Homo-oligomer: A and B are copies of this chain.
């Protein structure tokens, strides 16, 4: 197989199916050229196979010859030749890997220019200034990317020469001044590289291609792959394409266009356009762009052609596309296309619109797959509560959502602040790939320059972080920024609204936002796809939360924590129970709690009538219901403990623990304080009975936390059964109240078989399971250690957010397999926070979990992720 393919090569399959080989950009260029026959400047793709061969053993045999053949074809097709002194062929060299890695790989433009051909370009275009500016740009890019010269050095030269000649705008720079810049650039390269800037176009091409190959392994590319979980051994393809010039004259221009609005999903073209400019100018956000619609006035013909191409692209790709194009002296050229990134709202609207479009007619399965959990996450992102906020300034609303944090001006400072557990808003003039680590830790980003497709905007949308870009009024200096008379210093708190583009001083209150009507449509399809293969329940501890969860589509409650019911005005009763020095007093306190608990459970069972409600018996250690030990110690030292506080002090001392997470909690506490679990079981039984009497259909499941051995469950189960029998009678009034086990200690997972002998169901508590499997106390390691572990790559990701498949996941798999080895129909759920994490949901479905349970606000995401898991079809 050849290493190199021309864009119009007739592949045996659609090029889009050959992204492994051609990279995303190459495949799209080939799709446009060879299939859609769109006006694409000719060129060729050097395959990822060549890059991989180069990684292994250097420049591959035969590659040079293939490239020479392709160049010859371009020369004969265009009638131009590389390095020609009258009308030279110029090309761009661009990377293009299988997965989109925006801005991460390097690009060289105007390759083929040298001291001779630049004059040919000047002659052919009749535009000295244009030719020399192109040469100047080429030397600069080549110097930076191929020779590794610091880009600032070129900028300094440029600014110095500009200043020396009193030129204010780049566009006003005469050719002779540009020539001076060129000479200084060449001298710089000579100094830095130790040899002159190469005049031979073939050498320029080969070294540029090699530089693209090498850039695959650059630290910033590697960091991006790490962040996005892209394999390191894929390699990149390289696209060599005949140059067209949006910066040739004022009858030229360049733009970035979406077939629909990527922020809102609205139909109609959308994008940025610049007259007399190259594509990089649009993306870099250095010049203020025009909306794409303005292009229609300036270039009516090409604009109409572009809109027609947009339609053809959408029909062909059956999706919303992102394109780059150039108009050269009135002729439209398509430089690139790819499926466009979009906001959550846009994803929903586009999915529904394309499903309803008779020509495209996405199936429900396809539509569901067009929306990612991250998209829903954006929609469910917090929004500011609209109070009497005073907006400091506005910019472009580049990525929706609300973020509050302290202002930092460099990526490094942002990371340092994050490691101090601060929330960070990264404020930059503009961002570049060098800022990625800062963006990663930031709550949101604010830039003073750039458009909706600037680096900051693209990255923030991709990661679902609020972003405001192009906020012109913001003037940034070293450690502060100012808007008019107001100065905001490093470390000050601001609030940014990425939906409205508004910047506000101080911290704004945050609430959940509204969802578009397409939300329910897509989730309905997701539920259709999911069927009963993977249930979604909510973690909810009271009636209102349960009702909210049900509204979000929860199919029951997977975790009702009873500890929250012990706080507030009930705390005094709980404390009376703890302090009781006789069985009578303890029982009296328990009786008081019984009344309350029954009410709690009734409310929840009512809200979830007809759906299962898993009630976890009390889990936390008792000292959580007592005053803080340090306060008591201080008061005791000062001698200001009153008799009641003294009693509490002694109780707190008695229940104090070195490592409360691993102490007397869960079933251990239940066994030590036997009356507690009996009371809770009784309350469940009474609540179910009352609901039944009221005509309801209560389905209660009692769950025992922190089991390590079946013997614990045998003991506690007997107590519970006794209470159920006592309240409901031996026939249980027809109510089937099941009794199950949390699986949240490694031992419980390992001994899933023994425990399944006694449990009616399992529910994996993956938070605790993760804590114990790693030996990580979340309270202690997430602040101090985790950021360091994540940034240094010691952990691929935070295991409290996404289940650690290779460690904790093995225990989950073992628990499921061993439990089912005893009871093939054992019902198994997950109620840790991972139950709302899409990647973890795919894992859970894969190992055979029946349902996941998560916080009410995560329910829609879990429903969608569950549908994706079912479509991935591993279960």
Contact = CB atoms under 8 A, between A and B. Distances in A.
Interface of A: 629-630, 633-638, 657-664, 668, 671-672, 706, 708-709, 711-712, 715, 744-747, 750-751, 754, 768, 771-777, 779-781, 784-785, 788-789, 792-795, 804, 806-808, 810-811
B715 A794 contact: yes
Given A630-B629, A709-B795, A807-B751, A661 B664 contact: no
B746 A811 contact: yes
A873 to B, nearest CB: 27
Given A668-B785, A715-B792, A795-B711, A777 B663 contact: yes
A751 B809 CA distance: 11
Contact of A774 (B636, B747, B794, B811): B747
A117 B606 CA distance: 76
B784 A672 contact: yes
13 contacts: A630-B630, A633-B634, A658-B661, A659-B659, A659-B777, A661-B775, A662-B771, A662-B772, A664-B784, A668-B781, A711-B794, A744-B775, A746-B773
Given A709-B794, A747-B804, A810-B750, A662 B664 contact: no
Given A708-B807, A715-B792, A794-B671, A780 B750 contact: no
Contacts of A785: 664, 668, 671-672
Count of this chain's copies in the oligomeric assembly: 2
A661 B657 CA distance: 12
A773 B795 contact: no
A630 to B, nearest CB: 5
The 9 A-B pairs with the shortest beta carbon distances in the complex, nearest first, are A662-B777, A634-B637, A659-B777, A663-B780, A747-B807, A746-B746, A658-B779, A745-B775, A657-B780
A746 B659 CA distance: 18
Contacts of A747: 773-775, 804, 807-808
Contacts of A808: 747
Select the residue from A706, A711, A774, A785 with max chain B CB neighbours within 10 A: A774
Contacts of A662: 659, 661-662, 771-772, 775-777, 780-781
Contacts of A708: 774-776, 807
A508 B804 CA distance: 53
Given A793-B711, A804-B747, A706 B775 contact: yes
A514 to B, nearest CB: 38
A767 B661 CA distance: 17
Given A662-B780, A662-B781, 17 more contacts: A635-B637, A657-B780, A658-B779, A659-B660, A659-B780, A661-B777, A662-B775, A663-B777, A663-B780, A708-B776, A709-B795, A746-B746, A746-B775, A746-B811, A750-B806, A768-B775, A772-B775
A668 B795 CA distance: 12
A449 to B, nearest CB: 37
Contacts of A629: 630
A780 to B, nearest CB: 4
A835 to B, nearest CB: 20
Contacts of A781: 662-664, 668
A535 to B, nearest CB: 27
A42 to B, nearest CB: 46
A663 B808 CA distance: 18
Contact of A634 (B636, B771, B774, B795): B636
Contacts of A794: 671, 709, 711-712, 715
Contacts of A806: 750-751, 754
Contacts of A657: 777, 779-780
Given A661-B658, A784-B664, A792-B715, A811 B776 contact: no
